[in-house]
Structure 1
Amino acid sequence: METAKAFQFPSDVGISLGTPDDPTHVMMEIHYSNFKAAAGTQDNSGMRLYYTSEVRKYDAGILEVGPTITNSLFIPPKVESFKTYGLCKIGNFTKKSPGVTQMKVFAVMLHTHLAGRAVQVAHFRNGSQIGFLGRDMNYDFNLQETRLLQNMSTLEMGDEIVVECTYNTMDRKNITVGGVGTKEEMCMGFLYIYPRNSISNCFSFPNLVHIAQALGKDVYSTEQAVMAIKSFQWDNASARVFEVLLKETTHSIYVLSQEGFLPGISGEVHNITKPRDTPCLGMIDDNMPGHATPHEGMPHDGPPGDVLSHYDSKGSLTSPVWALSLLLISFQAGLFDWIPGFPIL
């Protein structure tokens, strides 16, 4: 039996439990992909949560950034390298969460599906890139984990975040679309922040009408543009044009909080500059993500699925074992593409 290493929060940060604003359920979600219909495989996966009754100074939250998934993420077939983009503007957060002045980012999880090859989450201030909140230029779908930032980053009101994902679809005959299926795609950065606020998602949607028209299609609505892009006959040249259009078009930004949506924001994707590389590792030398390690005194025995849920009126969750499990128990979790009324089409 293989056990994942526990994720360690900073000593003054934890996930709040037991208050009216906190999660009331724990859900572990597993996606099974058995393309070859292999028989005889058993799964005994589980999770263990550690908590303390000593309330920590800061309640942690998760901010999900990237492009929207449904009817907005398209990757042409037979391309060795294709980039998609997501844009988030922090300045409007105060309209949905008035108490927000800044957010500390202390960890990140990057996520695509099988076609993903690289993910970058770049941080911009006053139009200039000031660093990375996450970067993996050798992304592997089978090696996903939440990583602590070597140097904590501060998001100020007015900052912008650009998420760039690179894909390889040389083994695919048809266009790849966004979705929850393993052979569909996503492009996400999950930012672990404190102090917690009511904002959960900051996603963007490219102007598909403009893009489809630039590709020579006679369309006048987003729904028409989606159909035109899905049925387009792609070659390498048109894929390159599509990639440029995705970056240069205007992106509509949607912010989701506990109070609802904040539409009406738009912007353009900034150019991401390559960081200084270390001589050996080729990683970021000013904010390199590192592997999380547990406390020395943290218990590791017990069967999978042993969820400790006894707490006082308020406690702090200190170390969930699986990164995806933490995302799912967060009071902010959920892809807002699935929420009725989301203005996609």
Structure 2
Amino acid sequence: MTLSASAPATATRPVITAWSAVSPFGIGKDEFVAGVLAGKDASSALDSEEWAGPDDHACVVPGFALREVLGKKGTRSMDRVTGLAVTAVRDLLRDSGDRRTASDEETALVLGTTTGSAQSMMDFTRASLVGERPFYVDPSLMPNAVMNCAAGQCAIWHSLKGPNTTIAGGRVAGLSALSYAGGLLSSGRARTVLYGAAEEFSNARAWLDHHRRGEDSTGALLGEGCAMFMLESADPTGPDGRALAEVLAVESRVYFGDDLREALAACVEGVLRRGGVDSGDVWAVSASGPAGSAGEQEREVLTGRFGAQVLERAPSMASIGDTAAASAAFQIGSLLSVAERSAAPEGGVALVSSVDDNGVVACAALRLPVG
């Protein structure tokens, strides 16, 4: 891929200029904004004829039938996580209209995930094991078993010809994707980056989560969805009226055993220092709130640093369940939702915290809204 001279490397901080969401509140950003600000409970009973997991309730995208949402062409063998991502990118490009400053060749896509589609991987493997021959499998299902299928399909469906990247990062995938997207902009590899994260609900994921879930997180509901954002370089000549938020910094840390508190505290300190922000300047903090002790430790650290009132200004993500890889992306969407309704002071700083009980924490500092 060759970029034109109109996409030079830049030292300006990236800004979010548009976003979209496909969530348990419904398809579209407006449904997400209304649902998250109202604290609406998005859980629902699962149809036993469609789902065969260990739980009878979950937070799934209502009415998400691939052929009804995306049409019949090209969707016969498409899996759920790919459909969620393709739909979110479609809505993002549609809603941004002509505000995107880059051509298709200068537009990159970065998608965060856990493993892609666990259901597709298991279905394909099972077909090889139970078939008369190991190679008696449906070849059309093979692409779905590859982790970067969703990102590739997004580019194919929407003619995006820039860099295409999949970030496997678990719960922190949304912030890892943001960090990677910023690197593409700063290096001149892209002029616009569509970034976000997606997670599907499936029988396979439900059973995997059921068997790995600790006793202190029993009863947690799974959720699904995809949130996508348009990231561009700020206008260096003055205030950028397109900007919904300025990305000040993104940091991550790893921890071992019971060192979550120490790692998160260091991560918070690092992101504030890199972003040039004092603790007193932080207006809102969005906690990821994983079930069990990890969520309790996260809230303890953040409350000790910023105070309970600052955490309460960010909408809770509990109402859409555990959206895993998509959780941090939805957290950013919730903060933009607050800013969209003029609840945030102009130039206020918001911090996103993401904790994965597998040993990773990440934080991002955003200034919202901008100018």
Band of TM-score, shorter chain: under 0.3
User: Which structure has more RCO (C-alpha within 8 Å, separation ≥ 6)?
Assistant: 1
More helix by share: 2
More strand by share: 1
- TM-score, L = length of structure 1: 0.27
